[in-house]
Structure 1
Amino acid sequence: MKLKMPPYVDRFVDRGGAPRYYFRKRGGPRIPLPGLPWSAEFMAAYKAAAEGQGAVPKGTHAIVRGSVEAAIIGYLGSNDWKQQAQTSRELRKPIIERFRLDYGVHKLRALRRSHVQQIIADKTPSAQSNWLKALRHFAGWAMRENLIATDPCAGVQTARKPQTGGFMTWTEAHVASYRDMYPLGGKPRLALELMLNLGVRISDARQIGPQHIQNGVLTDYRPQKGRTTNGLTINVPVHGDLAKAITAMKVTGATSFLVTSEGNVYTAKYLGQHMREWCNDAKLPECTSHGLRKLCLVRLAEAGCSPHELMSISGHKNLKEVETYTAAASRKKLAVIAMAKRAGIALDVSLPLDKLREAYTAATGAAPVIAGTAA
């Protein structure tokens, strides 16, 4: 039997099938009502709302059904939003809230491609890309919920990003300076060794722990970035440098090697802030945590690893993403081989790059040149 609602009460059923009740007089704010209709808890909140005493947050206003704001409220409570990676939510939440603040009163069905193009027009190329990714995900959810018929983000163009090469790759000199600053036994050193020797992102370095290591191998670990998209698992033997760093720690967590001073697992954002501070204190302001992952792949490529071998470590699905590392390493090897041919020296081309360079130097009798020295 359908239960009759008190005056000015609306009933909605959310995506999980749970009923929601709101009090709203014409033109007034929507005030959520707890409990079931006519219960003591419900009626106490109803009476307070009817008398204008409901707990209405500062800035609360009428939420119009079919508006952008109403859709965003549903989106932020949906599984589509919650199942995104934490880093994606942290990046996109300010964008969605800004979109809600600027355009929330407008009808969602009136949103067109030209509007989205105009919204992102005055932003930097990187900001345009981030805004479009956030709005596309929102629009995809809205289409599945039948709130809009077509995707207003389809065909929207972003400005071309300048080719910066992304995060700077650490050099071996950077690593040496950092290690000199932070000896074994401390969290700064362990953080570096985790990312450098496993090739993982900071979002994974924060949560890898004893349960992930079996017989000296990081076993069947699925990086966080690929967990919502069925990404590949990785199996990476623990390098001796990492094993020493873990063993040297006086305190590690039960589920994560890296823990805060309170014994909690780091969030990616909090660990990233610490890495920024640690690098700055080591006089390495140009270095970032992601640059360690890139150096790991550079080392593998220069040791002669194939793109597929790199992918088994990095977890990449796209071959093109890792081919850049092997291509750069191949060019460096070819340069040594070419100069050896010019000098009439036969080298074992199967050697990794560093050994090949050593062999060339030994064969030519050339001494390393130190910048800034006088003849």
Structure 2
Amino acid sequence: MLRGIRRQKRGDRIVRYHRATGIRLPDGIPETHPDFVTAWALAEAHATTLPQKQRLMGQAGTIAHAVQRMKSAPTWSSVSNDHRRRLTRHGDQIAQAYGAVKIALVTRRNIEDDLSRLTPDVANARLKAWRWLFKQALADQVIKGDPSQGVKKRVIKTDGFLAWTLEDVRTFRARWEIGTATRACFELICWTGARTNDAVRLTPAMIGADGVLSFRQSKTGGMAHVPWACTLPEWAESWADEREGVMLALQCLAGGFTFIEANGRVRSIKGLGNIVNDGARTAGLINKTAHGLRKYRLTSIAEAGGTPHAIMAWGGHSTLEEVAHYTRAAEMKRLISGTEQKRTSVSRSISAVSSRIND
């Protein structure tokens, strides 16, 4: 019989808790069931004294050891910096909570219980960390199967960050004049379409002899190419004045290694996001963030007539499927405006002339 279990009668059923930690144990299964034993072992891990817990965590086969092995795996260096940081954060949290438990004892139900305490987006990120741990444990031959493969990701119904409109951009520029740090930060993201974690590290050194700003994205590892000092493509010729405004805004922060340094130091990712987000709120724009500017730029390319490959190059995408929604949305707009509207107008004019001639 397992020790340290507190049993309470509630109506016609018995509810069981781990006595030392107060963690509730599974209902509806006997205490000899593997899922119950594993849940009890996880609770015991919380109650283990620190010296003993540290000793157990160093043992091969434990969850903590799997976390250490994950970080030293040959494939670890091939993961993007952002993804590696997320895996490290969640892996460390898993090790902190369950590190002394043998990974071979963990079941699908245990993983689902761990994820149930988290919001859907965080739970999905945590699930990726669990899968990395089991992948490593399989490689180390300390487990025979991966219980995380039976765990489904949470469904998140969202269109992501709200894209800015042209009117939003004009409103922001009217509120923040060239010469302010807020305007400079805004213009850099708005023109490049870079994510904030990439925008903070953009430097003049990334501009090639051909006048193209090229940088490798932290999230995907793909290369993005932005026309900086080169001739603009035909479909973007009308953006020449906008690009000149970008350069003027950035000149106000000139002198640093990166485009938008603050007090001689590289601006933080969070700080960059905040300065744009706060600037938008001050300008009276609701739910407009730095992340939404990337959608604005890529949408603008599609609506200006840029090809899917142009969107891929500017946004750093690796497949046409990733940009399909931008081109579809632009095409739908063209059905009721722009080229299609001109065609309809011409057709109607021809019909009207024909009618008068026939009369």
Q: Same fold (TM over 0.5)?
A: yes
**Structure 1 residues not aligned, in runs of 5+:** 1-26, 31-58, 348-375
Q: Which amino acid aligns with 1:314?
A: G
Match of 1:40 in 2: none
Q: For 1:161, which of 148, 156, 161 is the aligned residue?
A: 156
State the one-letter code of the partner of 1:223: Q
Normalised to the residue count of structure 2, the TM-score between the two structures is 0.69
Deviation at 1:82, TM superposition (A): 6.5
1:203 aligns with 2:197: yes
Distance change in 2, residues 1:167/1:346 (3 Å): farther
Structure 1 pair 94/219, CA: closer, same or farther in 2 (3 Å)?
closer
1:215-226 maps to which residues of 2 (within 5 A)?
215=209, 217-226=211-220
Q: Does 1:282 align with 2:273?
A: no
Give the drift of 1:79: 7.0
Is 2:201–2:258's contact at 8 Å kept on the other side of the alignment?
A: yes
- Asked if the contact 1:75–1:81 (Cα under 8 Å) also holds between the matched residues in 2, the reply is yes
The amino acid across from 2:275 in the alignment is H
Query: Secondary structure of 1:226's match?
Result: coil
**SS of 1:234 mapped into structure 2:** strand
2:317 aligned partner:
316
What is the distance in 2 between the residues matched to 1:339 and 1:209? Answer: 42
Give the match's secondary structure for 1:109.
helix
Instruction: Give ranges in structure 2 of 5+ residues lacking alignment.
Output: 1-48, 230-239, 351-359
Equivalent position to 1:192, from 179, 186, 189: 186
Q: Structure 1's 266 and 197: CA in aligned 2 closer, same or farther, altered over 3 A?
A: same
- Deviation digits for residues 55-113 of structure 1 (CA, Å, limit 9, x no counterpart): xxxx9675351321233245456676676444334544443333223322210122233
- Which of structures 1 and 2 has the larger relative contact order (alpha carbons within 8 angstroms, sep 6+)? 2
- 1:212 aligns to 2:206 (yes or no): yes
Give the equivalent residue in structure 1 for 2:300.
Answer: 299
Name the structure 2 match of 1:111: 106
Are positions 1:70 and 2:72 aligned together? Answer: no
Q: Provide the alpha-carbon RMSD of the alignment.
A: 3.1
- Distance in 2 (CA, whole Å) between partners of 1:310 and 1:76 is 35
Matched, 1:150 2:172: no
Q: 1:178 to 1:105 in 2, by over 3 A?
A: same
Matching of residue 341 in structure 1 with residue 336 in structure 2: no
Structure 1 or 2: larger helix share?
Answer: 2
- Compared CA separation, residues 346 and 76, structure 1 to 2 (3 A): farther
| C-alpha separation in 1, matches of 2:349 and 2:334 | 14
Instruction: Decide whether the 8 Å contact of 1:80 with 1:141 is kept in 2.
Output: no
TM-score of the pair, normalised by structure 1: 0.66
Q: How many residues align?
A: 288
Cα separation, 1, equivalents of 2:116 and 2:187? 42
Q: 1:72 to 1:325 in 2, by over 3 A?
A: same
Aligned counterparts of 1:243 and 1:148: Cα–Cα separation in 2: 59
Equivalent in the alignment of 2:357: none
